[in-house]
């Protein structure tokens, strides 16, 4: 039976490499559709938790794991020697930037080298990681062909970028259309058929077109967020509330889409993906002025938050040096535990460099995880009236729902609000509240 027939009949076994914020939701949805699945991850602790029916991602409840485990068709492993059991392997791995803000494809490269060791005829490999146009064809395919087998003859590749928005209840894998690109018509047909079981596929002509579409989505957001971040700084200087302005502009039923300012970009996509195109464009002697300017503005936002904090605390006749600061919210966006590229890390770094004592509170992040750049040994402090009174300033970084903002307002000496959680208290702040 060929691959397309196996997918048609749901006899195809799926392998999903990388069981994080992208891979695990994919695994759950395909398992619910009746596919047999091998979940692969080098983190053995994840394998053990999933095998025991536990979740390590806040917005994915353990009941979802126990539900699919009960079907008896899902196996979890850290052993790539089991990859030949899979007919289609979906690869959902990080694609970070290195210290020079250049693409780091090491996760994809190392995994491709592992998969090539066990590659068998008839398999298909679909990359889901956001990356520069050409990665699937120029990086992954050649490594897999080192197995001695030829792409398009012995195996196939495709690219289908993730469109995961963690904890978004309005848009899920089932309701978000999925771009599918392949350079081979048969591979494209197989990928379209596969993703059609869980969502609406959007076919494009090539892996490069699919890779480019994902970058365009995130560059669009990055540029518009930068625009509204710049507007915030301008309007703050003029004494105008940017949040009020955005709300008013949003009443226009055409030609306007609201974007909102913040303390800096977070998540694995928007702070990173635009620079993948910037890097690739150099090969073609093309400048990327919009992308780089947007990156400059967004990257500067934690410094703007610091400057507003410095101004506000000086107005109280205090010094920021040795000041006690409470960061409210550490995750990169509200109501999740995802710390990838969170602006909270940069704000903490700046405050530490200026001699501040910094603590944080986040109901979903009990301890700050170590990252490539930051190794903070910090744990979330309880949010009590007694604790809040100890701090010279509280900076709202993430607007989690499960936070008693009224308690903070009543007991904090000074609040720097970067998320407009105190929108009811004056245009640019009221009393102990300063918008930033």
Q: Enter the tokens of residue 160.
A: 């289908």
Angstrom distance (rounded) from CA 195 to CA 202: 10
Residues 6+ apart with CB under 8 A from 98: 104
**CA 394/CA 294 separation, integer angstroms:** 28
CA distances (Å), origin 368, targets 166, 365, 371: 19, 7, 9
**Residue 269 known to be catalytic:** yes
Active-site position among 151, 190, 269, 356: 269
Query: What gap in Å lies between CA 214 and CA 90, rounded to an integer?
Result: 17
For residue 413, the SS3 value is coil
Three-state DSSP state, 231 = helix
User: Would you say 124 and 160 are in contact if contact means Cβ atoms under 8 Å apart?
Assistant: no
User: Scanning the structure block, which residue is given the tokens 């059991």?
Assistant: 85
Name every residue whose Cβ is closer than 8 Å to that of residue 176 and which is 6 or more positions away in sequence: 163, 165, 199
| Pairing state between β 201-204 and 433-435 | unpaired
User: In what helix (H) or strand (E) does residue 202 lie, and over which residues does it extend?
Assistant: strand 201-204
Other CB atoms closer than 10 Å to residue 197's CB: what's the count?
15
Q: Are 164 and 132 in contact (CB under 8 A)?
A: no
Integer CA distances (angstroms), 249 to 184, 221, 232, in order: 45, 18, 14
Q: Which residues are catalytic?
A: 269
């Amino acid at each position: 039976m060929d691959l397309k027939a196996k997918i048609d009949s749901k006899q195809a076994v799926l392998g999903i490499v990388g069981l994080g914020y992208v891979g695990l939701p994919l695994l759950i949805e395909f398992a619910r559709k009746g596919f047999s699945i091998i979940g692969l991850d080098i983190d053995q602790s994840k394998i053990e938790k999933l095998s025991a029916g536990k979740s390590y991602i806040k917005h994915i409840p353990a009941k979802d794991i126990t539900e699919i485990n009960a079907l008896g068709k899902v196996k979890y492993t850290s052993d790539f020697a089991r990859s030949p059991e899979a007919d289609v392997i979906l690869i959902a791995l990080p694609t970070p930037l290195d210290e020079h803000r250049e693409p780091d494809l090491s996760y994809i490269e190392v995994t491709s080298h592992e998969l090539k060791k066990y590659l068998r005829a008839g398999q298909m490999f679909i990359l889901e990681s956001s990356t520069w146009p050409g990665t699937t064809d120029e990086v992954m395919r050649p490594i897999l062909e080192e197995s001695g087998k030829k792409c398009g003859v012995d195996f196939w590749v495709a690219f289908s970028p993730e469109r995961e928005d963690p904890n978004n209840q309005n848009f899920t894998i089932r309701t978000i259309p999925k771009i599918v690109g392949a350079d081979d018509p048969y591979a494209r047909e197989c990928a379209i058929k596969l993703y059609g079981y869980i969502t609406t596929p959007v076919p494009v002509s090539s892996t490069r077109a699919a890779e480019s579409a994902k970058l365009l989505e995130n560059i669009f957001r990055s540029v518009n967020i930068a625009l509204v971040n710049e507007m915030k700084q301008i309007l703050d200087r003029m004494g105008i509330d940017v949040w009020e302005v955005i709300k008013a502009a949003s009443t226009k039923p055409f030609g306007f889409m609201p974007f909102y300012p913040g303390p800096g970009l977070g998540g694995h996509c928007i702070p990173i993906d635009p620079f993948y195109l910037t890097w690739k464009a150099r090969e073609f002697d093309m400048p990327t002025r919009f992308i780089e300017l947007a990156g400059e503005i967004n990257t500067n936002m934690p410094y703007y938050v610091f400057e507003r904090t410095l101004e506000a605390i000086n107005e109280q006749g205090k010094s920021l040096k040795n000041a006690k600061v409470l960061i409210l919210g550490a995750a990169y966006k509200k109501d999740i535990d995802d710390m990838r590229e969170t602006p909270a890390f940069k704000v903490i770094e700046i405050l530490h460099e200026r001699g501040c004592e910094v603590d944080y509170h986040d109901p979903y992040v009990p301890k700050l995880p170590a990252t490539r750049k930051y190794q903070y040994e910090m744990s979330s402090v309880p949010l009590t009236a007694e604790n809040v009174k100890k701090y010279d300033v509280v900076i709202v970084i993430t607007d989690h729902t499960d936070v008693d903002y009224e308690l903070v307002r009543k007991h904090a000496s000074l609040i720097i609000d970067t998320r407009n959680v105190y929108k009811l208290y004056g245009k640019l702040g009221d009393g102990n509240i300063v918008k930033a």
